[in-house]
Homo-oligomer: A and B are copies of this chain.
Amino acid sequence: MAGGKAARAPREDNPTGAARGEPPVRLGPLADFIGFHLRLAQEASFRAFAQRVGDPKLKPSRFAMLTLIHENPGITQTALSRASGRDKSTLTAALDDLVQRGLVLREKDAGDRRSYRLHLTAKGRRVLARLTEKAREHDLKLDRIVGPDRKREFLRLLARIATELE
């Protein structure tokens, strides 16, 4: 992780993290683009989450999958793929992994035998509980950065970007 972690940004006026001693890098118009800062914030959040969880196989996307299955027991792979915005073909390998680790159960639908119904196993629920706890801690840190009074507004704006841009 040594090389890639160079994205550290020691202070506000040096957001892209030029190393100590060097002249700071100019951002030009990037400095005012929401999209650019969205990317930096998302990457930072992603890395912080991964680091907190530890398991390199349980990234935010896997956490989201487990949550979606837990919250929508019996969801089909196609529905899950739509909900997570990925093609169904990309789910096969991820689910294979989750099933093999004993976290998810695939069972044939009795009515429509083309479909699988997805559920969490008891172990899956335990792992999800732990992950959710980690995610809560992680998000608490984000809350503190944003400020508790601004959180709802901030969430609303992010959600609007996601929905109105597609």
Contact = CB atoms under 8 A, between A and B. Distances in A.
B42 A89 contact: no
Contacts of A157: 145-146, 150, 154
B45 A34 contact: yes
Contacts of A159: 12, 15, 37, 40-41
Interface residues of A, number: 82
B15 A72 contact: no
Interface in A150-166: 150-151, 153-155, 157-166
Nearest to A84: B16
Contacts of A37: 155, 158-159, 162
A138 interface: yes
B79 A162 contact: no
A88 B3 contact: yes
Interface in A19-59: 19, 22, 25-30, 32-49
Q: How many copies does the complex hold?
A: 2
Contact of A17 (B85, B136, B141, B143): B85
A130 interface: no
| Across the A-B interface, the 10 shortest Cβ-Cβ residue pairs | A7-B85, A28-B71, A37-B158, A40-B162, A42-B42, A44-B165, A3-B87, A41-B161, A26-B71, A25-B83
Given A25-B75, A27-B67, A38-B42, 18 more contacts: A6-B82, A6-B87, A7-B166, A16-B68, A18-B79, A22-B79, A26-B72, A34-B139, A34-B143, A35-B49, A37-B158, A38-B41, A39-B42, A39-B46, A40-B159, A48-B165, A145-B161, A145-B164
